[in-house]
Amino acid sequence: MSVDQTITAVEAQAPPRHRVRLPLAGMIGAAIVAFWVVVAIIGPYIAPHDVGALVDDGFGPLRWGQPLGSDYLGRDVLSRILVGARYSIGVAAAATFLAILMGGTLGMLAAVSRGLVDMMLSRFFDGLISIPSKMSALIVVAALGSSIPVLIVTIAVIFTPGAFRIWRALAVNVNALDFVEVARARGEGTGYLIREEILPNIAGPVLTDFGLRFVFAVLLLSSLSFLGLGVQPPNADWGSLVRENMNGLAEAAAAVIVPALAIAILTIGVNLLIDNLPGRGSSAGEH
C-alpha cells in the first residue's frame, strides 16, 4: 500500500457528518427557542404600548388592550415582557457567545499545543473556576455598575473557565486520534488542526455546551436583576419584572407570574433542544 493510500485510510477514521434529525421533543424545544428569539427581535415593534408609558393605575386589572394588566407604576405588563425578552435573551446570548469564543478557542489551543501552553492555561482557568460565580458577579457589578456591556463581559468571564475545560477535554480526545496525527505529520499548523480536524468532530457536544451555558447565563442574569444589580430602569429584563412587582402578587399576579413563566419556558425549550441533539455527547458540570 502506498503512503498516500495509508494516509487516506487513516483519515477515513474521522467520524462521518450526518444531517441533523430531531425527535419530537427536540422539535418542540426548537419551536420554543425560535419563538422567543423572534419575540426578542420584534418585541419592541409589536408592543401595544410604549415600555415606559403610564397607561393605568398601579397594578391595574386585566382588560382589553392590557391583557396582562399593569405593573406597580401603571405600565403595560405585556409591553414590558415583549421588550424585556430582548434583554433577557440578548444579554445572555452575547455573554454565552463571548464565553464560548474565549474558552473554546483557548481550550482547543491548549489541547493541540500540549506541554507548557496546556499546563499554564489549565492552571489559570482552574484558579478562576474556583471562585463562586454569583459572588464574583455581585462584586464586579456592584463595583463597576450594571450597564449592559458590564453585564455581558462579567457573565462571559464567569463562564469562560467552564467552557475552556469542556472544550479542552473534547479536543484532547480528538487530538489523540490517528487522522489528527497524520495531519500533523503532513506539516499542518495549529490553526488548520483546530479548524479542519478537531472542531468539526466535536460539534455535537459543543452545541450542547453552548445551550447549557446560555441557560445558566439567563438564570444568572435573572438572579442579578432580581437582586437589583441586573438590567436597570427604565429598561427591564424578565428578572427585573418579577422583582418590581413582587409586592402586587395578590392584586396583579400576572405581572409576576408571566415573566417567571417566560424564564421557565425558555429554559425548558433550550433543554429539550439540546437533550435531543444527535451526537451531542456528554457535557460535564455547571459553570
> Which CATH number covers residue 92?
1.10.3720.10
pLDDT, tens digit (0-9, with 9 covering 90-100), for 225-260: 888 888 888 788 899 899 888 888 888 888 899 999
- Which range of residues forms the domain containing residue 185? 23-275
Asked whether residue 283 is domain-assigned, the answer is: no
Asked whether residue 263 is domain-assigned, the answer is: yes
pLDDT for residue 26: 86
Asked whether residue 256 is domain-assigned, the answer is: yes
Asked whether residue 69 is domain-assigned, the answer is: yes
- Given the C-alpha cell 481550550, which residue does it identify? 107
- Residue 11 pLDDT greater than 80, yes or no: no
Confidence of residue 284 (pLDDT cuts 50, 70, 90): very low
The number of folded domains in the chain is 1
- Residue 41 pLDDT greater than 90, yes or no: yes
- Residue 191 pLDDT greater than 80, yes or no: no
- Given the C-alpha cell 456592584, which residue does it identify? 142
**For the chain, where are the alpha helices, taking DSSP H only?**
3-11, 24-46, 77-113, 115-129, 133-144, 148-175, 178-185, 190-192, 203-226, 238-244, 254-275
Distance (Å, rounded) from C-alpha 99 to C-alpha 217? Answer: 10
Distance (Å, rounded) from C-alpha 87 to C-alpha 89? Answer: 6
Asked whether residue 178 is domain-assigned, the answer is: yes
Cell numbers at 223, concatenated: 438572579
pTM: 0.82
pLDDT for residue 264: 94
Residues facing residue 75 across a β-bridge: 54
Residues facing residue 70 across a β-bridge: 76
- Which residue type occupies 188? E
Q: CA separation (Å) from 201 to 83, 88, 208, 209, 263?
A: 38, 31, 14, 14, 32
Asked whether residue 6 is domain-assigned, the answer is: no
> If you count them, how many residues does the chain have?
287
Q: Which of 40-49, 74-83, 180-189, 259-268 has the lowest mean pLDDT?
A: 180-189
Asked whether residue 237 is domain-assigned, the answer is: yes
Cell numbers at 155, concatenated: 457573565
Confidence of residue 283 (pLDDT cuts 50, 70, 90): very low
Distance (Å, rounded) from C-alpha 150 to C-alpha 216? Answer: 17
Asked whether residue 280 is domain-assigned, the answer is: no
Please check whether residue 84 is in contact with residue 126, taking contact to mean a CB–CB distance below 8 angstroms: no
